[in-house]
Amino acid sequence: MSGIRIWLASAVDATALARHATGQVLGIDPAQIEIGREPAGRPYVIGAPRLHLAISHTPNLAAVAVTDLGPLGVDVEPIRHLPAAELARRWFSAPEADWVARHPDDFLLLWTAKEAVGKALGVGLRGGGLLRPMPLPLTARLTATLPGLPTMTVAAWRHQGTVLGLACDAATALGASISVACWNEEENAARPRSSR
Look at residue 60 in the predicted model and tell me its pLDDT: 87
Across the chain, mean pLDDT equals 90
Across the beta sheet with 52-58, what order do the strands follow? 52-58, 61-67, 4-9, 178-182
Look at residue 185 in the predicted model and tell me its pLDDT: 60
* pLDDT of 195 higher than 80: no
195 vs 175, higher pLDDT = 175
Look at residue 190 in the predicted model and tell me its pLDDT: 35
φ/ψ of 26, rounded to 5, equals: -85, -10
Look at residue 196 in the predicted model and tell me its pLDDT: 24
Look at residue 189 in the predicted model and tell me its pLDDT: 46
* pLDDT of 93 higher than 80: yes
Q: Are 146 and 133 in contact (CB under 8 A)?
A: yes
